[in-house]
């Protein structure tokens, strides 16, 4: 079940804090609140030294590129602009790496990427899903959003979007149709209680979804769900931990299912809630050289509380950092399905512009700069993390509103008391 603004798998963003570093760092699908230095966009000395080992020349010979340009200009039967061609060449350089995580973004795409990482988008604020008859439905309107204010209710069947039927429309395609620029309108026809047709014209607004939700169950098990590792994750996780301690929870379920990743700093902060000082969280390597080690500063507010992490194939990147760190340090048991397997790090670099606090205002290159390794020394890229206890979650389970993975976690935690 997908929400409006749901992101792609495999996002991980690192924040650089050294004063001479002037680019925000993007680690695979998530970046926001990046610490920008003096704005000159120089590479760090260590990165420059690494560049010298690639064997690439300082400058490329563009004579053959000019020949292709001349041939297009003189022969192409269509319309092209200089900007299209320049963007195409820059995209081609990134694509030539053969690395799916190295990408060139135009200013518009860079802004969309940043918004996705920040759990921000412009829309109506409704979680969409499908019912047993494959109808598009409102799972729930998000509190205090245009969808809620307009009067949309859970289980409303969305029959049309802007006059077009939703029959055979995927959730992703429906999200694309409903989202749009702030201030514009979308028209929905819904059927309530399978009998009452209703018309809604809703003005889109900027929506921000909190990345962390939590509750304490009646059996005194705390459930913390992290949907992404964003700018608000560290503070929200600290609030969740404080409430867990205040209510004297006996055990915790950390739900990282379908969490595509995000900010590296947020993943480190979340891990530290369970780990005492001095414990390794991860290492970054370029080739075989360790360039950064992340060690817990503690004090580990939730240290010692029995914890289960729930994972599935959508748990990627920063989610895998937390899973590996807690599992390898014997701070949590992992239940669910094997994780996605994204063990590399990207850096976003602002192109032909001045960086500013929060990212790039314009074109951007997101480039893979390192691999990361679990405390046990393993790199999980294309391998994932196998849970301690494998429990499947099927479509039939979802339709029956069952959650066998959470049930298994509850059973383990209550038995272990």
Is 317 noted as a catalytic residue in this protein?
yes
Chosen domain end from 207, 225, 248: 207
pLDDT, position 14: 54
Same domain, 91 and 182: no
- Whether 51 and 163 map to the same domain: the answer is no
pLDDT (average), residues 150-177 = 92
Most confident of 54-58, 287-291, 345-349, 408-412: 408-412
Same domain as 360, residue 224: yes
Burial profile 186-213: b = 16 or more Cβ within 10 angstroms, e = fewer: bebbbbeeeeeeeebebebeebbbebbe
Q: What is the pLDDT of residue 111?
A: 83
The C-alpha R_g of the chain, in whole angstroms, comes to 23
**Which DSSP string corresponds to 40-57?**
S-PPPHHHHHHHTTS---
The residue from 251, 317, 319, 366 that is catalytic is: 317
For residue 30, is pLDDT > 50?
A: no
**pLDDT given at position 131:** 84
Q: How far apart are CA 322 and CA 273, in angstroms?
A: 10
59-68, 149-158, 171-180, 272-281: which is most confident:
272-281
> For residue 211, is pLDDT > 90?
yes
Are both 172 and 25 inside the same structural domain?
A: no
Strand partners, 121: 207
- Whether 258 sits among the annotated catalytic residues: the reply is no
Residues 347/366, Cβ–Cβ less than 8 Å: yes
Q: Is 65 a member of any domain?
A: no
Q: Residue 342 catalytic?
A: yes
Q: What percent of the chain has pLDDT over 70?
A: 86
Q: Residue 137 gets which letter from DSSP?
A: E
Q: How far out from the chain centre does Cα 348 lie?
A: 15
Q: What is the pLDDT of residue 115?
A: 78
180: domain CATH number is 2.30.42.10
**Which of 149, 182, 207 is where one domain is finished?**
207
Give yes or no: residues 109 and 129 share one domain: no
Which token pair is 366?
A: 């997101």
**Residue 161 placed within a domain:** yes
Question: Catalytic residue among 232, 269, 328, 363, which?
Answer: 328
Q: Contact at 8 Å (CB) between 269 and 234?
A: yes
pLDDT digits (tens, 9 = 90+) for 62-73: 899 999 999 999
CB 200 within 8 A of CB 150: yes
In this structure, are 158 and 193 located in the same domain? yes
Q: Are residues 256 and 148 in the same domain?
A: no
Q: Given this model, what pLDDT does residue 22 score?
A: 23
Q: Is the peptide bond before 346 cis (omega within 30 degrees of 0)?
A: no
335 lies in the same domain as 377: yes
Check pLDDT > 50 for residue 19.
Answer: no
**Do the domain assignments include residue 2?**
no
3-state secondary structure of 358: coil
Q: Which of 185, 207, 229 is the last residue of a domain?
A: 207
pLDDT of residue 3: 39
CATH number at residue 277: 3.90.226.10
Do 40 and 28 share a domain, yes or no? yes
Catalytic residue among 7, 280, 342, 366: 342
Q: What is the mean pLDDT of the segment spanning 291-303?
A: 93
Q: 255 and 396, same structural domain?
A: yes
pLDDT (mean) for 396-416:
93
Res. 358: pLDDT tops 80: no
| Domain span including residue 238 | 9-56+83-119+209-417
Total number of domains constituting the chain: 2
Highest mean pLDDT among 46-50, 114-118, 328-332, 354-358: 328-332
What pLDDT score was predicted for residue 13?
57
Most confident of 49-58, 341-350, 371-380, 390-399: 371-380
Q: Give the integer Cα–Cα distance in Å for 158 and 155.
A: 9
């Amino acid at each position: 079940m997908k929400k409006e603004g749901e992101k792609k798998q495999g996002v991980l963003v690192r924040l650089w804090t050294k004063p001479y570093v002037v680019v925000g760092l993007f680690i695979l699908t998530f970046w926001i609140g990046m610490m920008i230095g003096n704005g000159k966009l120089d590479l760090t000395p260590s990165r420059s030294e690494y560049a010298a080992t690639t064997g690439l020349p300082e400058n490329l010979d563009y004579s053959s590129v000019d020949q292709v340009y001349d041939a297009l200009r003189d022969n192409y039967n269509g319309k092209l602009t200089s900007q299209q061609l320049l963007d195409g060449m820059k995209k081609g350089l990134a694509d030539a790496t053969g690395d799916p995580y190295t990408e060139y973004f135009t200013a518009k795409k860079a802004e969309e990427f940043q918004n996705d990482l920040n759990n921000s988008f412009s829309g109506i604020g409704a979680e969409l899903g499908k019912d047993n008859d494959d109808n598009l439905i409102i799972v729930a309107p998000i509190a205090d959003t245009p969808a809620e204010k307009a009067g949309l209710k859970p289980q409303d069947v969305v029959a049309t979007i802007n006059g077009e039927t939703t029959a055979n429309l995927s959730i992703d395609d429906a999200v694309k149709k409903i989202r749009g620029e702030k201030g514009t309108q979308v028209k929905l026809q819904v059927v309530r209680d399978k009998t009452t047709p209703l018309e809604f014209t809703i003005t889109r607004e900027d929506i921000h979804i909190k990345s962390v939700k939590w509750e304490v169950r009646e059996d005194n098990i705390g459930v913390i769900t992290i949907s992404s590792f964003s700018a608000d994750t560290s503070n929200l996780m600290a609030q969740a931990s404080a409430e867990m301690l205040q209510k004297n929870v006996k055990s915790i379920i950390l739900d990282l299912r379908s969490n595509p990743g995000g900010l590296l700093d947020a993943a480190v902060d979340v891990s530290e809630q369970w780990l005492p000082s001095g414990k390794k969280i991860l290492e970054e390597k370029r080739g075989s050289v360790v360039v950064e080690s992340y060690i817990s500063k503690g004090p580990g507010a939730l240290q010692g509380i029995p914890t289960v992490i729930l994972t599935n194939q959508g748990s990627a990147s920063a989610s895998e950092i937390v899973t590996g760190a807690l599992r390898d340090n014997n701070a949590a048991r992992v239940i669910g399905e094997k994780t996605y397997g994204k063990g590399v790090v990207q850096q976003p670099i602002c192109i032909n512009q001045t960086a500013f606090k929060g990212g790039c205002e314009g074109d951007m290159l997101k480039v893979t700069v390192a691999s990361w390794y679990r405390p046990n020394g393993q790199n999980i890229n294309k391998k994932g993390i196998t849970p301690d206890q494998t429990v499947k979650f099927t479509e039939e389970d979802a339709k029956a509103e069952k959650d066998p993975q959470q049930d298994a976690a509850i059973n383990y935690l209550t038995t272990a008391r």
